Chain A
């Protein structure tokens, strides 16, 4: 027997909301989904009228739905924002090619301008070239570190005021778990913030902070949005994979687990007197970093000097290598 929508009581329900257990029809689900994102945006005061906002676009489900929803809410509620899609081309053969095609179609479908930046432009190295240099093992580290900064660099280039990313509630809960498992207290403090990088860097916000992945996928499916789905063809981070599986197991027993974990992350505070690494700016490239030299710069240095393992091992090892490299570098400068 089809179940009736608990909101309008007329149409047939198509989805059970994980947050509330409400059974909703398509139209009521769209409305609930869109309104909640709007409320998240207004409550956290994410934007001011007239701002220029870059939507980090990968062609995947989250960023595709984000682009669609940002455009829709901007028009429906007169945010007064100028929007642009910002994509990063890592240069992974067969991976980005297809997802970038998706972003290009999104650009047309949503009538938003698009800027694609290549790793080659930003760093002088494509991922394929990095893989040739270091093998398949650790390139997700490169992928992640470079991608993070690529957005910042792209945002500076475009002179936007803000960046929005498609991170959803599941992603954030997973990151809370990861930071607990790694004992990374500094990141644990930051990862639940809806906006990061307010000092010195271009602010980054997550309008989907409270949005469940299931609803994003269902929204994309029912709206027939055009997105690209594949795992990164380079080795995924196994540890993170376990955290994800654990989270999904919890969710299947109790759907509120995802919001509960985010809430726990928000509530945990660090005792006074505990020293946390302070976030400053990288002395080489000027982008945000908790070290004197950021991880991207260390990795680039490694690649350029033919020591590609640099920056992906244990942090103490990295530090030692950086110190010796810095000495080398200063020696080189002196000799010039």
Chain B
């Protein structure tokens, strides 16, 4: 686990959940990556290495989504987030595993997790 600026705030108990580094990526594919899909909503950036700030709430995916919306989304958030979750049709992978196996929105993000969003909402 990486030491992050969040650690000192634990001392005064203001934010029991320390910050951590996490990789968030969109339409991750290996090999040849072509443009399009969910990353279009993020100014065409496919991958973000983010440092989540410490917080008084656990870093569940639900809270992470809110954070992404406030910090990474460039435009039209409704194409990515709907009703506190991802828009139906966007798949979420945590360390290459289906988030539905891990509690979906309630999963607590761990340091150095790789969170990936893959949009299925385009032509085949």
Contact = CB atoms under 8 A, between A and B. Distances in A.
Interface string A98-126: 11001001000000000000000000000
B61 to A, nearest CB: 15
B88 A60 contact: no
Nearest to A26: B96
B65 interface: no
10 contacts: A2-B97, A16-B98, A58-B124, A61-B120, A63-B124, A213-B89, A227-B34, A245-B88, A248-B121, A251-B88
A230 B88 contact: no
B32 interface: yes
A116 to B, nearest CB: 17
Interface string B70-109: 0000000000000000011101010011101110000000
A166 interface: yes
Nearest to A18: B100
Given A2-B97, A98-B35, A231-B121, 18 more contacts: A3-B101, A58-B124, A61-B124, A166-B124, A170-B120, A213-B89, A214-B120, A217-B118, A221-B28, A224-B30, A224-B31, A227-B29, A229-B27, A230-B36, A231-B36, A231-B122, A231-B123, A248-B89
A218 interface: yes
Interface in A1-36: 2-3, 12-16, 23
B118 A15 contact: no
Interface in B1-42: 27-32, 34-37
A220 B87 CA distance: 21
B100 A16 contact: yes
B54 interface: no
Contacts of B93: 221
Interface of B: 27-32, 34-37, 87-89, 91, 93, 96-98, 100-102, 118-124
A16 B37 CA distance: 22
Contacts of A171: 124
Contacts, number: 92
Nearest to A227: B29
A15 B101 contact: yes
Interface in A206-220: 213-214, 216-218, 220
Contacts of B88: 245, 248-249, 251-252
A205 B109 CA distance: 43
B98 A14 contact: yes
A62 interface: yes
Most A CB contacts (10 A, CB to CB) among B31, B93, B124 go to: B124
Contact of B120 (A14, A99, A213): A213
A164 to B, nearest CB: 13
A168 B124 contact: yes
A244 to B, nearest CB: 7
A232 interface: yes
| Shortest Cβ-Cβ A-B pairs, 7 listed | A230-B36, A62-B124, A248-B88, A16-B100, A60-B124, A248-B89, A15-B98
Contacts of A213: 89, 120
Given A2-B97, A15-B97, A218-B98, A226 B122 contact: no
A84 to B, nearest CB: 19
